Each structure stands twice: as structure tokens, then as C-alpha cells.
Structure 1
Amino acid sequence: MNLARRFVKIVDTINYRIGRVVMYGIFVMVGVLLWSSISKTFFLPSLWTLEVAQFCMVAYYILGGPYSIQMGSNVRMDLFYGEWSDRRKAQIDCITVFFLITYLGIMLYGAWDSTAYSLQYNERSPTAWRPYLWPIKVTMCIGIFLMLLQAISELIKDIFKIKGVAL
């Protein structure tokens, strides 16, 4: 029980802090896209702005995903769920979280394989700017891994809720 509590506390703390920092990434994207508009209007268009904005967006939603799960702001089908008691919600979440964990495990396996390939062959984007792809792939691996840890943390919280044990 103490090990589970420590795991939940550590994972929740890490994902909360990362999520709070990453949430300001929207301003980075706005800045990049604003520069893109200004440079296309008044100067020569920049080759790098579209891809940097895409990379920022990927980092934003991949690293923000665990925070979103932790805050309960992920999308749910509220037709029935909203009317259930907290204990019933925890019981259903204990079942459905296994689908999420399976999905994230498969995603992590694919992301890890893709990252290894990218590092081994110095994979670059096929665009005119041609940035290396490994930094965003490493970011994806980290984000998916953190989301997997957060899903396990939510499972532990739901099990405690079902048993009526305080976390």
C-alpha cells in the first residue's frame, strides 16, 4: 500500500509539474506562427516555421496528455457516466483503463522502434528545411511513457476508491 501511494505521489507530482510548464507552450506556437505571418508578409518566407510549429504542437499535446488525464479533463462519454456514483465510476474506470494501458504500450513500442531507427540513420524531414527528427521522436517516447505511468496511477487511485481506502 505504501509503495502504491508513493508511486502515485511521484507520478502525479512529475506530470503535474511538466504539465504546468508545457501549458505555456501555446505561447511558443503563437510566436512561431506570428513570425511566419510577418515574414511571409514583409520579408522572405521562413522555411522552418511550419515544422517548428508542428514540433511544438506535438510536444504540447504529448507532454500535456498526462496532465490532462490527471486533472480529469480528458473526453468521456457522459451519457451514463455523469449519473454514476464515484465508486461506480471507479469500477468502470478500472476496466476501461486496461484498454488505455494496452494502447499506450503499443504506442510506446512503436515510438521506441521509430526513435531507434531515427537515431541510427540520422533521419531527417523530407522538406526543404530538413531538420533531424529524433528530438521530436524522443519527446514522443517520453510523453507516451509519462502517460502510461499516469494511467497506472489513475488505476491505483480507482482501486483505492473502490476499497474505500484514502490515498
Structure 2
Amino acid sequence: MKGLIGGYVRTIDGLSDIVGYMAAALIFVMGGVLMFDAFTRNVIEMPVHWAIEFTQFTLAAYYFMGGAMTLKNNEHVRMDLLYGTLSPRGQTKMDLATVGCLLFYLGVLLAGSISSLQYAIATGERRFSIWNPSVIPIKALMTACLVLMMLQAIALVFKHVAALRDGGTETAEGTR
């Protein structure tokens, strides 16, 4: 792919990789917080009340942030009962159809996340707990990551269309 569409695909792929690697680093953050919690609770007997909830928020961020890279690297879940029997061109056509369904699904999720974020901002929504954190940051991250996933899905459409134009032997993920 060349030109504007190729530049778009390369840019979104690169952005998805950056955000995905940032998500991978969150595993270490979660592990560190949980070890800190275990230490304060069991060794010095002064439990911190925010550690588990912070880890839950971090895990949610991990899932949201890893979505676009998962799409880009073709590491998502797929039912291979029918898909594996198709020719490379047939698989590319199936991928193109499922990306269309994915875009619809992501659009519905994005509309809901925008509405939820607007509500959280308008009401200053907080979690009801001892720590009482604001949910605005995680809802904003969810919305931004859904936008990135939609942009990545659009990049997949371009890759699949290019693969079909090239005869179907070259796919969005490379040569089959």
C-alpha cells in the first residue's frame, strides 16, 4: 500500500504498537502494587485500602489498551471451524466481513462509552469505596482506546481490500 492510505495504515499500526507495549508494561505495575499490598498487609500489618481497587482499574486499562494491538497482530479469538477450510482469498473475504461487524460493534460500544463518560464528568462520578476514586480517568481511557480500535479496524479494512486486489495470496497479516 502506498500513498495516503498506506500512510494511514502505518501510522495506526505504529500507534497501536506503542499503546499495546504501554499496556504490557502495566502487568509490572499491577504486580508491584499487589506485592506492596501483600507486604503492608502481612508484614507490617498496615493494609492499604486502595491497592486492590487500583489493580482492578489497571487491569481494565490493560484490556482496553491492548485491543488495537491484538487486532493489528491478528491475535484475537476466531472460530476456525469454517475459516480454516477456506482458501486464502476466501479467508480474506471472511476477514473483511467480520471487520464490518466489528466496526458496528465498536461503534455501539463507543456511543455507550461517550455517554458514560459525559455522565461521569457531569456528576463527578466516583466509586463507592474506602478509597473513593474518580471513574473519569478510566472511562476517558476506555473511550480513547475504543477510538483507536475503530481506527485499527478501518486499517484492517484497507489491508484486506489491498490483499483482495493483489489476488488474495497476500493478506492483512502477511503471506499465508
Query: For the superposition of Structure 1 and Structure 2, which TM-score range results when normalised by the shorter chain?
Result: over 0.9
Aligned twin of 1:67: 69
The question of 1:47 aligning with 2:49 is answered yes
- 1:136-160 deviation digits (Å, cap 9, x = unpaired): 1011011111111111111110011
Give the superposition deviation at 1:2. 2.5
Cα distance in 2 for partners of 1:75, 1:37 equals: 34
Matches within 5 A, 1:31-110: 31-42=32-43, 43-110=45-112
Aligned twin of 1:30: 31
Cα distance in 1 for partners of 2:134, 2:54 equals: 11
Q: Percent identity?
A: 34
Matched residue SS, 2:133: coil
Aligned twin of 2:16: 15
* Number of residue pairs the alignment of both structures matches: 167
The one of 133, 136, 145 aligned to 2:135: 133
Cα distance in 2 for partners of 1:46, 1:94 equals: 48
Give the superposition deviation at 1:7. 1.4
Give the superposition deviation at 1:36. 1.8
Give the superposition deviation at 1:83. 3.6
> Quick check: 85-94 or 144-153, which moved more?
85-94
Give structure 1 stretches of 5+ with no counterpart: none
Cα distance in 1 for partners of 2:120, 2:13 equals: 30
Give the superposition deviation at 1:66. 0.4
Give structure 2 stretches of 5+ with no counterpart: none
Matched residue SS, 1:36: helix
The question of 1:153 aligning with 2:144 is answered no
Partner amino acid, structure 2, of 1:157: K
Aligned twin of 1:119: 121
TM-score, normalised via structure 1 length: 0.93
What is the aligned-residue RMSD (CA, Å)?
1.6
Cα distance in 2 for partners of 1:82, 1:16 equals: 27
Give the superposition deviation at 1:13. 1.0
Matched residue SS, 1:23: helix
Partner amino acid, structure 2, of 1:133: V
Runs of 4+ residues deviating >3 angstroms:
none
TM-score, normalised via structure 2 length: 0.89
Matched residue SS, 2:151: helix
- 1:26-59 deviation digits (Å, cap 9, x = unpaired): 1111111112222221222211011110111011
Which structure features the higher share of helix residues?
1
Give the superposition deviation at 1:94. 0.9
